[in-house]
Amino acid sequence: MRSQHVIATKHRDTCQSGWQKRRDELWSLSPLRLAGLIIDHGLILDEECDPVEMILNFEFDNITGDNCVPQSKNRQRKVLVVDDDRDIVDAVEHALNAMGLKVVVARDGNDGLAKVESEQPDLIILDMMMPKRSGYLVLESLRRNHAEVVPVIMITANEGKRHEAYANELGVSDYLRKPFPMERLVDSVEQALP
C-alpha cells in the first residue's frame, strides 16, 4: 500500500484540482455506490484503508493527458434502458453494445428503479409510457431520492410539447421522439455520458 500512496501523492501534487474534485465527488456518494466502485475497480477493501483514498489511489495511478483526469481500469460504462417495447430495446441495446457500453434492461418503471439501485448505471435511457410506473414517475423519484444525478435520455412516441417541457424541467439530458434515427441516440449518449 505504501507504493500506491507515493504514486497518489505524486499525482496529487501535479493534479491537485482534479484530485480534489474527484475526492469531493467520492465523498458525496452513498456507501452503496462507493462499494460498487470498489467492486468495479476490482479492489479489495482493507479495514485499515479509507475507501475514498483507496479509489483515488487506484484511479489516479492511471492518469492520461494533461488534464489530470483519472481513468478507471477495467471499468465499462453502464447504460440502463427502461422500456417495455422489445423492438426498441433490441435496437438500442445493439447500438450501445457497438459503442462498447454495457447494457442493462428493465421492462417497466418499477424494475427500472430497482435496477438503478442494484446496477448503478452511468446513464439511463427512459421510455415515458410504460406499465406499472411511467417514465415521469421514475424520473421524479430519481431526482427526489438520489443525491448523485444520473443523466437521463427520455424517449417517447408522445408529440406533446407540455410533456417535453416537464421532462426538461426534471433535468433530462435529451428528449427523443420515436421513431428516431439510431445515430441521433448515439450522439445523445456520447454527449450525456460523463
pLDDT bin (cut points 50, 70, 90) of residue 106 is very high
Sheet with 152-156, strands from edge to edge, namely 102-106, 78-82, 123-127, 152-156, 174-177
Q: Report pLDDT for 138.
A: 93
d(CA 162, CA 79): 27
Cβ pair 74, 99 in contact under 8 A:
no
pTM: 0.62
Mean pLDDT, residues 142-159: 87
- Domains in the chain, please, with CATH? 2-70 (no CATH), 78-192 (3.40.50.2300)
- Per-residue pLDDT tens over the stretch 1-22: 343 444 444 444 445 666 677 7
Mean pLDDT, residues 112-131: 93
pLDDT bin (cut points 50, 70, 90) of residue 109 is very high
Lowest mean pLDDT among 35-44, 67-76, 129-138: 67-76
Query: Average model confidence (pLDDT) for the chain?
Result: 79
